[in-house]
Structure 1
Amino acid sequence: MRAVVAREAGGPEVLELVEVEDLTVGPGELLLDVTAAGVNRADLLQRQGHYPPPPGASPLIGLEVSGHVAVVGAGVEGWSVGDACVALLAGGGYAEQVVVPAGQVVAPPPGMDLVEAAGLIEVAATVVSNLDLAHLSAGEVFLVHGGAGGIGSFAIQYARSLGATVLATAGAAEKVAYCRSVGAHHAFSYRDDWAAQVRSLAPEGVDLVLDSVGARYLETHQQLMATEGRLVVIGMQGGARATLDLAALLSRRGLVTATSLRPRPPAEKAEICRRVVERVWPLLVDGTIAPTPQTTFPLAEASAAHAHLESGDHLGKLVLVVRR
């Protein structure tokens, strides 16, 4: 089969489409013919050599795909060859085929095209698992950064569906406007004094921050937290090391946690996928959550997709199309 490999750690130019060995299916697994693969910021980190796959996972890049079942492994029930599906992966998505534990494979949202569905499961699983962890509830104030990206735009809509007041940051004016269009009660550019705007809108503080920036905003987030506020760090775009003010944290009885979806064991991922289907798919069907805009690239142009994501010019989600 063909797959995208990174010749070495480096820029987008190290990615190339080559022939690799065919895959074999073990008990409890499914082999999928990939229709499309989502492109995520974690993929950029892996290409750069900063985010190696967990032990036993495919060394290929790619954390989510859509496609059809090609082979059903021993002991797997409920799936037949030819069934449409989406899958949450620990790696291997940038390829014509992928092997996945059956619990991480689910039917796509009813009525959704498989290319559009390819960029959904990683985003939904990340947001649902972290908002569950932090117990976001109706009436609370929620802040998310990168509101015009895949995770941010989904988080805006999902948090609003839970009854939270949603604040979001983005870059250019059109991205800020997009955040408002998908449900953010207030959105502002991170190029301005966004923290001051948050303080004016939420003088009692923010109950939950979903933070993909990391170190650069840590001190600011501590200052913005409400009493018993929660900070959930899911990315390090702004660095990995910063000083935590324990006195400020103690005074607010605050909680700071950091999570990663990729290295979780299959049983945990299967449970998260189950919750996504149960909670998110109905919201997509009834229009409460709208799919984010997509930019698609052929699989052979993975390097261009990575360059586009790194540029910051994209809106919504990027997807590699393998076959239609």
Structure 2
Amino acid sequence: MSVSLASPAIATFERRRAELLSQRRRATLLYGGLLLLALLVSAWVSEVSPAKIAEGIPRFGEYFAQTIPHLTWQHLFAGTQQEGSLAYWFYRLDEWAWLLLQTANIAAFATLLGAAIAFVLAFLAARNVATRPWLAAGIRRLLEGCRTVPEIVFALIFVWAFGIGPLAGILAIALHTIGALGKLFAEVIENADLGAADGVKCAGGNWVQQMRFGVLPGIAPNLLSYAILRFEINVRGASVIGFVGAGGIGQELYAVIAQNYYEEISAIVVLIIVTVALIDLGSERLRRGLTETTR
């Protein structure tokens, strides 16, 4: 009796399951077709074609081959005057090292400045702790504007206003950092447990004291972790905005590219990669240490 009753139920289940699978396949084909159409339209608008890619790849390879230094084993560790040596390849290492230090300083100072301002704005923009919803909405739009405009656009504006040099780079990266970290900080605050803040409020604490003693202790590790991650990103950004005269190693890299000093291009790129990798490794260990101490 139970078997006879179960059989129609199983048949109904299998039929419904087949219908759902069929609907899912049709939806997948529909959305896949729309995505493919969108990609084709984007490629057409962007003037991207397989023929252009096939034509450009050999030229890219030729340019890359010219940047490879002509090192020889017998002269590898010779002096700066000997062609084929590492010292000859990095013959301006002292100048480039100073510019890399300048780039790191631009990123560090811009990150500190941007994070400090983003920290303040985030408490005003977080919906769960904001005292005035209209102010929170306005600050969120401000943060969106700061992070939407590319850093290099800000750098061009500040170079025009303040002249060529690191100041333009610091302001450009700091402004973009305010928008990026402001959003992340606000989301951390919105996900925070407000129980301690309510306790401070019941004890007579004002809004600032509620944020300071009720919210900040629980979210400080996350805020610091995001700030360190942003510093890593800003080091790369500081290397790029130098192309428009905002100081750092990017300005030197643009100069050697413009003058087709191929081996110098590869030397600077290698130094940038090594510097960013070391900063990434150090920042990753610091973030991991922060995470472990808060568990």
TM tier relative to shorter chain: under 0.3
Structure 1 length-normalised TM: 0.18
Which structure: greater strand fraction? 1
Question: Larger radius of gyration, structure 1 or 2?
Answer: 2
